[in-house]
Structure 1
Amino acid sequence: MAEYPINKGIGRSVEFKGLKAQYLFIFVGGLLALFVLFVILYMVGTDQWICIGIGVTGASVLVWQTFALNARYGEHGLMKLGAARSHPRYLTNRRRIARLLKRKRKEDKI
Protein backbone atom coordinates (compact mmCIF):
# COMPACT_ATOMS: atom_id res chain seq x y z
CA MET A 1 0.00 0.00 0.00
CA ALA A 2 1.35 3.42 -0.97
CA GLU A 3 1.88 6.08 1.66
CA TYR A 4 1.25 9.71 0.84
CA PRO A 5 2.64 12.58 2.93
CA ILE A 6 -0.09 14.74 4.40
CA ASN A 7 0.31 18.48 5.01
CA LYS A 8 3.80 18.50 3.56
CA GLY A 9 3.60 22.16 2.57
CA ILE A 10 2.22 23.88 5.66
CA GLY A 11 2.70 27.62 5.36
CA ARG A 12 3.68 27.46 1.70
CA SER A 13 1.61 28.79 -1.18
CA VAL A 14 -0.52 26.47 -3.28
CA GLU A 15 1.32 25.09 -6.30
CA PHE A 16 0.18 22.87 -9.18
CA LYS A 17 2.49 21.93 -12.05
CA GLY A 18 4.60 25.03 -11.42
CA LEU A 19 1.68 27.48 -11.22
CA LYS A 20 1.70 29.33 -7.94
CA ALA A 21 -0.76 31.47 -6.00
CA GLN A 22 -3.06 33.69 -8.06
CA TYR A 23 -1.98 32.18 -11.40
CA LEU A 24 -3.59 28.91 -10.38
CA PHE A 25 -6.89 30.69 -9.78
CA ILE A 26 -6.60 32.57 -13.09
CA PHE A 27 -5.97 29.26 -14.84
CA VAL A 28 -8.91 27.46 -13.23
CA GLY A 29 -11.26 30.42 -13.75
CA GLY A 30 -10.23 30.69 -17.39
CA LEU A 31 -10.81 26.99 -18.03
CA LEU A 32 -14.21 27.21 -16.37
CA ALA A 33 -15.14 30.22 -18.50
CA LEU A 34 -14.02 28.38 -21.65
CA PHE A 35 -16.11 25.37 -20.71
CA VAL A 36 -19.20 27.55 -20.17
CA LEU A 37 -18.55 29.27 -23.52
CA PHE A 38 -18.25 25.87 -25.21
CA VAL A 39 -21.54 24.68 -23.70
CA ILE A 40 -23.36 27.89 -24.66
CA LEU A 41 -22.07 27.76 -28.24
CA TYR A 42 -23.03 24.10 -28.55
CA MET A 43 -26.54 24.68 -27.16
CA VAL A 44 -27.11 27.64 -29.50
CA GLY A 45 -26.50 25.34 -32.43
CA THR A 46 -22.99 26.20 -33.55
CA ASP A 47 -21.25 23.43 -35.47
CA GLN A 48 -19.54 20.91 -33.22
CA TRP A 49 -16.12 21.30 -34.85
CA ILE A 50 -16.24 25.08 -34.50
CA CYS A 51 -17.01 24.70 -30.78
CA ILE A 52 -14.13 22.25 -30.37
CA GLY A 53 -11.77 24.54 -32.31
CA ILE A 54 -12.68 27.55 -30.19
CA GLY A 55 -12.30 25.50 -27.01
CA VAL A 56 -8.92 24.03 -27.94
CA THR A 57 -7.56 27.35 -29.21
CA GLY A 58 -8.81 29.24 -26.17
CA ALA A 59 -7.45 26.63 -23.76
CA SER A 60 -4.02 26.59 -25.40
CA VAL A 61 -3.81 30.41 -25.34
CA LEU A 62 -4.92 30.40 -21.70
CA VAL A 63 -2.29 27.82 -20.71
CA TRP A 64 0.43 29.66 -22.64
CA GLN A 65 -0.42 33.08 -21.17
CA THR A 66 -0.82 31.80 -17.61
CA PHE A 67 2.54 30.05 -17.59
CA ALA A 68 4.15 33.09 -19.26
CA LEU A 69 2.77 35.39 -16.52
CA ASN A 70 3.95 32.94 -13.86
CA ALA A 71 7.46 32.85 -15.33
CA ARG A 72 7.66 36.61 -15.84
CA TYR A 73 6.27 37.98 -12.58
CA GLY A 74 6.72 35.14 -10.10
CA GLU A 75 4.57 34.27 -7.13
CA HIS A 76 3.68 37.76 -5.86
CA GLY A 77 4.80 39.88 -8.82
CA LEU A 78 1.39 40.31 -10.42
CA MET A 79 -0.05 41.66 -7.16
CA LYS A 80 2.94 43.99 -6.79
CA LEU A 81 2.42 45.24 -10.34
CA GLY A 82 -1.24 45.97 -9.62
CA ALA A 83 -0.35 47.77 -6.40
CA ALA A 84 2.29 49.88 -8.15
CA ARG A 85 -0.23 50.91 -10.80
CA SER A 86 -2.73 52.08 -8.20
CA HIS A 87 -0.22 54.41 -6.50
CA PRO A 88 0.39 57.90 -7.90
CA ARG A 89 3.77 58.50 -9.52
CA TYR A 90 4.30 61.77 -7.67
CA LEU A 91 2.48 64.09 -5.27
CA THR A 92 1.77 67.73 -6.03
CA ASN A 93 1.35 70.36 -3.36
CA ARG A 94 -0.37 73.43 -4.76
CA ARG A 95 -0.31 75.56 -1.60
CA ARG A 96 1.86 78.63 -1.42
CA ILE A 97 5.00 78.49 0.66
CA ALA A 98 3.94 81.50 2.78
CA ARG A 99 0.65 79.84 3.59
CA LEU A 100 2.43 76.69 4.71
CA LEU A 101 4.69 78.60 7.10
CA LYS A 102 1.89 80.72 8.56
CA ARG A 103 0.48 79.65 11.92
CA LYS A 104 -3.19 78.95 12.23
CA ARG A 105 -5.09 81.14 14.68
CA LYS A 106 -7.49 79.72 17.16
CA GLU A 107 -10.87 81.36 16.74
CA ASP A 108 -12.65 82.70 19.80
CA LYS A 109 -15.50 80.56 20.93
CA ILE A 110 -18.69 82.32 22.00
Structure 2
Amino acid sequence: MAAYNINKGVNARVEFHGLRAQYLYLFAGGLLGLFLLFVAMYLAGLSAGVCIFVCGAAGAALVWGVFRLNSRYGQYGMMKLLAGLRLPRRIIRRRRIGRLIRITNHFDDHAGNA
Protein backbone atom coordinates (compact mmCIF):
# COMPACT_ATOMS: atom_id res chain seq x y z
CA MET A 1 0.00 0.00 0.00
CA ALA A 2 1.41 3.39 -1.00
CA ALA A 3 1.69 6.23 1.49
CA TYR A 4 0.65 9.66 0.22
CA ASN A 5 1.64 13.00 1.65
CA ILE A 6 -1.21 15.22 2.79
CA ASN A 7 -1.24 18.78 1.50
CA LYS A 8 -0.73 20.89 4.63
CA GLY A 9 -0.98 24.27 2.87
CA VAL A 10 -4.73 24.38 2.21
CA ASN A 11 -5.53 27.42 4.37
CA ALA A 12 -2.04 28.94 4.37
CA ARG A 13 -1.60 32.54 3.26
CA VAL A 14 -0.06 33.30 -0.12
CA GLU A 15 3.63 34.14 0.27
CA PHE A 16 6.55 34.41 -2.14
CA HIS A 17 10.02 35.39 -0.92
CA GLY A 18 8.53 37.16 2.08
CA LEU A 19 5.88 39.11 0.13
CA ARG A 20 2.43 38.44 1.54
CA ALA A 21 -1.11 38.84 0.26
CA GLN A 22 -1.82 42.05 -1.68
CA TYR A 23 1.86 43.05 -1.91
CA LEU A 24 2.50 40.04 -4.12
CA TYR A 25 -0.18 41.22 -6.54
CA LEU A 26 1.13 44.78 -6.37
CA PHE A 27 4.62 43.53 -7.20
CA ALA A 28 3.41 41.38 -10.11
CA GLY A 29 1.38 44.28 -11.51
CA GLY A 30 4.38 46.58 -11.21
CA LEU A 31 6.59 44.14 -13.10
CA LEU A 32 3.98 43.86 -15.85
CA GLY A 33 3.83 47.66 -16.04
CA LEU A 34 7.62 47.86 -16.30
CA PHE A 35 7.60 45.36 -19.13
CA LEU A 36 5.00 47.38 -21.00
CA LEU A 37 7.01 50.56 -20.36
CA PHE A 38 10.12 48.90 -21.80
CA VAL A 39 8.24 47.77 -24.91
CA ALA A 40 6.70 51.21 -25.43
CA MET A 41 10.04 53.01 -25.03
CA TYR A 42 11.79 50.57 -27.36
CA LEU A 43 9.08 50.89 -30.01
CA ALA A 44 9.27 54.68 -29.68
CA GLY A 45 12.84 54.52 -30.93
CA LEU A 46 14.92 54.91 -27.76
CA SER A 47 18.11 52.90 -27.60
CA ALA A 48 18.07 49.60 -25.75
CA GLY A 49 20.61 50.89 -23.19
CA VAL A 50 18.38 53.79 -22.19
CA CYS A 51 15.35 51.50 -21.95
CA ILE A 52 17.25 49.03 -19.76
CA PHE A 53 18.59 51.80 -17.50
CA VAL A 54 15.19 53.46 -17.00
CA CYS A 55 13.34 50.18 -16.41
CA GLY A 56 16.15 48.90 -14.17
CA ALA A 57 15.97 52.00 -11.98
CA ALA A 58 12.18 51.86 -11.87
CA GLY A 59 12.34 48.14 -11.08
CA ALA A 60 14.75 48.74 -8.20
CA ALA A 61 12.40 51.42 -6.84
CA LEU A 62 9.48 49.02 -7.22
CA VAL A 63 11.24 46.22 -5.32
CA TRP A 64 12.34 48.60 -2.56
CA GLY A 65 8.91 50.18 -2.24
CA VAL A 66 6.91 46.96 -2.19
CA PHE A 67 9.19 45.26 0.34
CA ARG A 68 9.10 48.40 2.49
CA LEU A 69 5.29 48.41 2.45
CA ASN A 70 5.30 44.71 3.26
CA SER A 71 7.56 45.13 6.27
CA ARG A 72 5.84 48.30 7.51
CA TYR A 73 2.17 47.32 7.28
CA GLY A 74 2.19 43.52 7.35
CA GLN A 75 -0.32 41.20 5.76
CA TYR A 76 -3.50 43.22 6.30
CA GLY A 77 -2.08 46.58 7.36
CA MET A 78 -2.21 48.31 4.01
CA MET A 79 -5.88 47.37 3.58
CA LYS A 80 -6.56 48.75 7.07
CA LEU A 81 -4.74 51.97 6.17
CA LEU A 82 -6.72 52.41 2.95
CA ALA A 83 -9.98 51.67 4.79
CA GLY A 84 -9.08 54.30 7.38
CA LEU A 85 -8.54 56.87 4.65
CA ARG A 86 -12.08 56.25 3.38
CA LEU A 87 -13.65 57.20 6.72
CA PRO A 88 -15.12 60.70 6.93
CA ARG A 89 -13.14 63.29 8.85
CA ARG A 90 -16.24 64.77 10.46
CA ILE A 91 -19.80 63.75 11.00
CA ILE A 92 -22.03 66.69 10.24
CA ARG A 93 -25.41 66.94 11.88
CA ARG A 94 -27.48 69.66 10.27
CA ARG A 95 -29.77 70.83 13.05
CA ARG A 96 -30.50 74.22 14.44
CA ILE A 97 -28.08 75.37 17.14
CA GLY A 98 -30.92 75.87 19.65
CA ARG A 99 -31.99 72.23 19.39
CA LEU A 100 -28.45 71.03 19.92
CA ILE A 101 -27.89 73.17 23.02
CA ARG A 102 -31.34 72.77 24.65
CA ILE A 103 -31.17 70.93 27.96
CA THR A 104 -34.19 68.96 29.11
CA ASN A 105 -34.82 67.78 32.62
CA HIS A 106 -36.91 64.61 32.64
CA PHE A 107 -37.43 64.70 36.42
CA ASP A 108 -39.44 67.94 36.25
CA ASP A 109 -41.84 66.46 33.68
CA HIS A 110 -42.71 63.45 35.85
CA ALA A 111 -42.87 65.33 39.19
CA GLY A 112 -45.81 67.52 38.10
CA ASN A 113 -47.97 64.53 37.09
CA ALA A 114 -47.67 62.71 40.44
Shorter-chain TM-score category?
Answer: 0.7 to 0.9
- Counterpart Cα distance in 2 of 1:44 and 1:89: 45
> Rg larger in 1 or in 2?
2
The equivalent residue for 1:62 is 62
The correspondence of residues 92-107 of structure 1 with structure 2, limited to 5 A, is 92-96=92-96, 97=99
- Counterpart Cα distance in 1 of 2:15 and 2:7: 13
The one-letter code matched in structure 2 to 1:52 is I
The equivalent residue for 1:101 is none
1:15-46 Cα deviation digits (max 9, x unpaired): 00000000000000000000011011111110
Bigger mean CA offset, 70-79 vs 81-90: 81-90
Inter-CA distance 33–10: structure 2 relative to 1 (3 Å threshold): same
The one-letter code matched in structure 2 to 1:39 is V
TM-score (norm 2): 0.76
The equivalent residue for 2:46 is 46
Identify unmatched segments of 5+ residues in structure 2: 101-114
CA displacement at 1:59 relative to structure 2: 0.7
- Counterpart Cα distance in 1 of 2:20 and 2:95: 47
| Number of equivalenced pairs | 94
- Counterpart Cα distance in 1 of 2:48 and 2:6: 43
**Secondary structure of 2:10's match?**
coil
- Counterpart Cα distance in 1 of 2:10 and 2:51: 41
- Counterpart Cα distance in 2 of 1:32 and 1:6: 35
The equivalent residue for 1:84 is 84
Identical aligned pairs, as a percentage? 49
RMSD: 1.6
Q: Find runs of 4+ consecutive structure 1 residues off by over 4 angstroms.
A: none
CA displacement at 1:6 relative to structure 2: 6.8
CA displacement at 1:94 relative to structure 2: 2.0
TM-score (norm 1): 0.78
The one-letter code matched in structure 1 to 2:78 is L
Identify unmatched segments of 5+ residues in structure 1: 99-110
